[in-house]
A and B are shown apart, each in its own frame.
Chain A
Amino acid sequence: MYRSSVYNNSMSTKQMQEPTFLILTSLAAGPQHGYGIMTDVAQISDGRVKLRAGTLYAALDRLSNDGLLELDREEIVDARLRRYYRLTPPGRTRLAAETVRLRANAAVAAQRLSLAGG
């Protein structure tokens, strides 16, 4: 039932991997640069997911190609280029849909656990 309502979303029919979900979550509050995303993802996941640069930029390349995020601005900090990314409206929609799916799954799990416990 959940599957049909969530997967009818036109943006994607594939389940989102956790690192992707965390990257989009990191960008949900506002634009972030690469290193900022890495530290934010570690913080959000309580240190469980540690993105490395290769993984991060492969994900950014894919998400950018899919139209889920885009370049916000560039800055030079300490003679280093920083490129900030932001969610696109389809990216926001996709993250929201994934959040609904995860929440629904979690609710079912919690309900069954309480039944089993009671």
Chain B
Amino acid sequence: MGLEARYRRLLRWYPADHQAVHRDEMLGVLMTSAEPGRDRPGLRESADLLAGAALIRLRPGRALSDRNGWRDTLAIYSVAGPVFMLASAILGWLGALLWSYLGHTAGVILTMSPAGNGAFENVEDAHPLLGTLIWLVLVGQAIVAVLALAGRRRAASVAAAVYVVYFGTYVVINVHTNAGSFLGLGLTLPVTFVASLTTLVALLASEGPGRGRELMRGRNWFFLALGSLVGAAVIGRFYAVVLFSQSVSPLAFDLYADVLTAVVVLALVAAWLSSALGKRLAVLFGVLAFAALLQVAEFFYDTGGLTAANVLVPAGEALVLCLLVVLIYRTRRRARSSGGDSGTGAA
């Protein structure tokens, strides 16, 4: 590999919009100022380039200058959302398998999944229909993810819509079998339902997962996979705590919630200071993170009756849904006014 190729590799650390404008120019400067005979950048020079890239990425208020704004972000999310939820389901599965190997009932596998109902510790305690529903919900997640990864927008939209309706029905049955328990609803509604709803919004409002895949070239796939695993592990950890640590003190629960909050806030801040696309993607995943926090809040603080938590948490969920409605409305209106056709993306 020659000097220029090595410089090019270092310049890939710069934000995409900066690279598009300045890469060739910077290469010219670097090659002109390079000492004759050198075949690789010096340590100081490499560090200087990496520091420059970090400075530019971390500059607060970098302009939201990408051309398609929310439409492109939603296109990425239409792939990233289902992948994230599938990763979450798979990790939940693995955690449950590990749990059963440790000598606990295998029935927990059903109730351990992110789509499962944490109110049951043994499958025998659950309504048989609920067990079936949980499995179908998991399969539904996998179908949406596979179709999205294949770039099939229409099919993925239909699957996601069926999934949302189906999961809504599941929530209703869940509430019924738990005698209207707010806790039963709270453990299942926020993350899984909001994730399926945001995925449907992304599929409908953007040019679809085909465009999303196009935008996620190169190492973006690596970051998506890594982010999905980390995020899913955080949520999976939450389920593990909720299901199997009933004897842990409320203080430990609070501590866990604080840690989760800190992780989410740090991730959001990091994404916010990066590219425009990253900021918008952070908002969408922030909705999921917010839903996860609501779950924590509901589990810890739901004591029945008209408490502050019982009023504030549903209000927060309503806020999330309203934000999603506004998002899809604004995106589609902007697409229409700019002459784009958001309804005929790659299928």
Q: Which of B44-52, B80-88, B284-292 contacts A (4 or more CB under 8 A)?
A: B44-52
Tell whether A52 is near chain B: CB-to-CB under 8 Å: yes
Tell whether B53 is near chain A: CB-to-CB under 8 Å: yes
CB of A80 within 8 A of CB of B22, answer no
Q: Which residues of A (41-79) have their CB < 8 Å from a CB of B?
A: 52-58, 61-62, 65
Tell whether A34 is near chain B: CB-to-CB under 8 Å: yes
Interface 1/0s, chain B 10-53, versus A by CB < 8 A? 00000000100010111111111100000000001100111111
Question: Which residues of B lie under 8 Å from residue A54 when comparing CB positions?
Answer: 45, 48-53
A24 to B59, alpha carbons, bound, how many Å? 20
A35 to B25, alpha carbons, bound, how many Å? 10
Question: Which residues of A lie under 8 Å from residue B3 when comparing CB positions?
Answer: none
Contact pick for B59, options A53, A55, A65, A81, CB 8 Å: A65
Tell whether A83 is near chain B: CB-to-CB under 8 Å: yes
CB of B33 within 8 A of CB of A81, answer no
A55 to B26, alpha carbons, bound, how many Å? 11
Q: How many A-B residue pairs have CB under 8 A?
A: 62
Question: Which residues of A lie under 8 Å from residue B30 when comparing CB positions?
Answer: 53
A38 to B30, alpha carbons, bound, how many Å? 11
CB of A34 within 8 A of CB of B18, answer no
Question: Which residues of A lie under 8 Å from residue B26 when comparing CB positions?
Answer: 34, 53, 57
Tell whether B55 is near chain A: CB-to-CB under 8 Å: yes
A10 to B44, alpha carbons, bound, how many Å? 37
Question: Which residues of A lie under 8 Å from residue B62 when comparing CB positions?
Answer: 65
CB of A58 within 8 A of CB of B25, answer no
Interface 1/0s, chain B 248-289, versus A by CB < 8 A? 000000000000000000000000000000000000000000
* In the complex, residue of chain A having the shortest beta-carbon distance to the beta carbon of B7: A53
Tell whether A82 is near chain B: CB-to-CB under 8 Å: yes
Q: How large is the interface on A (under 10, 10 to 19, 20 to 34, 35 or more residues)?
A: 10 to 19
Residue among B25, B26, B50, B62 with the highest chain A CB neighbour number at 10 A: B25
Question: Which residues of B lie under 8 Å from residue A34 when comparing CB positions?
Answer: 25-26, 28-29
CB of B52 within 8 A of CB of A53, answer yes
CB of B51 within 8 A of CB of A57, answer no
Question: Which residues of A lie under 8 Å from residue B52 when comparing CB positions?
Answer: 53-58
Contact pick for A81, options B18, B24, B44, B53, CB 8 Å: B24
CB of A38 within 8 A of CB of B33, answer yes
CB of A52 within 8 A of CB of B25, answer no
Whether A80 contacts B31 in the complex (CB less than 8 A), given A54-B50, A61-B18, comes out as yes
Tell whether B56 is near chain A: CB-to-CB under 8 Å: yes
Tell whether B308 is near chain A: CB-to-CB under 8 Å: no
CB of A61 within 8 A of CB of B48, answer no
How far is the CB of A88 from the nearest CB of chain B, in Å?
Answer: 17
Tell whether B322 is near chain A: CB-to-CB under 8 Å: no
A61 to B63, alpha carbons, bound, how many Å? 11
* In the complex, residue of chain A having the shortest beta-carbon distance to the beta carbon of B22: A57
CB of B63 within 8 A of CB of A53, answer no
A58 to B22, alpha carbons, bound, how many Å? 11
- A-B pairs with beta carbons under 8 Å apart, 9 shown: A34-B25, A35-B29, A35-B32, A54-B50, A54-B51, A62-B55, A62-B59, A81-B24, A81-B28
Residues on B facing A (Cβ under 8 Å): 18, 22, 24-33, 44-45, 48-53, 55-56, 59, 62-63
Query: Which are the 5 A-B pairs with shortest beta-carbon distances?
Result: A54-B52, A80-B28, A54-B48, A54-B49, A52-B48
A34-B26, A52-B45, A54-B49 known; 13 new pairs, CB 8 Å cut-off, are: A34-B25, A38-B29, A52-B44, A52-B49, A53-B52, A54-B45, A55-B51, A55-B52, A58-B51, A62-B59, A80-B24, A80-B31, A82-B25
